[in-house]
């Protein structure tokens, strides 16, 4: 589904790299682990990294109820959420032409405080399963006390845009004949061998097959509460 850009999401620098397809925006968000949230609070600009989860067109962030960032965002101020994936280093024959292949998403909007207990618990499941698919059903759910200590915010993805760069270097013709290496150095995120802590019981293993196809869309399921997944 392609959405018309708003004045804030219209890409002006390298517009050919803009991606207004909503499904591609969601795919990038589903593949990344960390977002950066930019906002102005008490007259000071701030950009802070945090984990996140997604259910449908809602992006969820969470943290301690004492968090200054979360308290500021509940006041209805404008925010900007960014996510970036690095796919490769682009080496050209001149220093000026070097670049990076990337996929990124920028989301504009305001945060909504999640107060409904069902939605809040589903968001917590989304946080866990976003990083480790299927992990939520394997571990203890948060207690009432832990939930009371946690603030959850939702940001709608109504005003979001992606941008990407692909391909090799854009050398000028006079540089191409130079005897210098040029091309792409791909970058991949790889999982290492799991290392159990000292209290894991013998025979209990970490199944890495759950990460197969992690870059595809994933759903945060919470069957014990019933309801749909809102995808």
* 3-state secondary structure labels for all residues of 18-55: EECEHHHHHHHHHHCCEEEEEEEECCEEEEEEEECEEE
How far apart CA 59 and CA 43 sit, in angstroms, is 26
Task: Give the model's pLDDT for residue 219.
Answer: 38
Report pLDDT for 213: 56
Write down the pLDDT at residue 164: 94
DSSP lists the bridge partners of residue 55 as: 58
- Check residue 205 and give its pLDDT: 86
Architecture (CATH level 2) of domain 15-206:
Roll (2.30)
The structural domains of the chain, with segments of one domain joined by +, span 15-206
Q: Which pLDDT score, from 0 to 100, does residue 223 have?
A: 41
The span from the CA of 165 to the CA of 15, in Å, is: 11
Cβ atoms < 10 Å from Cβ of 20: 17
- As a whole number of angstroms, the distance between CA 12 and CA 9 comes to 9
Rounded to 5 degrees, what are φ and ψ at 123? -65, -40
* Average pLDDT per consecutive 10 residues, the chain (231 residues; last block may be shorter): 75 80 93 94 91 96 87 90 96 95 96 96 95 89 94 95 94 91 93 88 84 48 38 31
Task: Give the integer Cα–Cα distance in Å for 61 and 70.
Answer: 9
Alpha helices (runs of H) in the chain, residue ranges in sequence order? 22-31, 68-73, 117-131, 144-148, 173-176
Nearest to 138 by CA among 129, 150, 148: 129
pLDDT value at residue 18 = 80
């Amino acid at each position: 589904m392609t959405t018309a850009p708003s004045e804030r999401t219209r890409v002006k620098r390298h517009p050919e790299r803009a991606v207004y397809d909503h499904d591609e925006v969601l795919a990038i968000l589903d593949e990344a682990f960390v977002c950066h949230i930019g906002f102005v609070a008490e007259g000071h600009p701030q950009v802070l990294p945090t984990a996140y989860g997604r259910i449908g067109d809602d992006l969820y962030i969470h943290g301690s109820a004492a968090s200054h960032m979360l308290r500021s965002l509940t006041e209805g101020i404008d925010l900007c959420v960014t996510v970036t994936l690095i796919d490769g280093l682009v080496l050209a024959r001149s220093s000026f032409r070097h670049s990076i292949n990337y996929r990124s998403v920028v989301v504009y909007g305001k945060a909504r405080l999640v107060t409904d207990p069902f939605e809040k618990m589903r968001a917590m499941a989304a946080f866990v399963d976003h990083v480790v698919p299927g992990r939520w059903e394997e571990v203890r759910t948060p207690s009432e006390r832990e939930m009371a200590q946690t603030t959850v915010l939702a940001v709608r993805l109504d005003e979001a845009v992606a941008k990407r760069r692909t391909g090799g270097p854009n050398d000028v013709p006079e540089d191409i004949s130079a005897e210098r290496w040029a091309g792409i150095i791909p970058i991949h995120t790889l999982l290492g061998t799991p290392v159990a802590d000292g209290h894991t019981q013998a025979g209990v293993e970490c199944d890495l097959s759950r990460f197969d196809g992690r870059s595809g869309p994933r759903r945060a399921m919470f069957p014990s509460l019933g309801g749909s997944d809102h995808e």
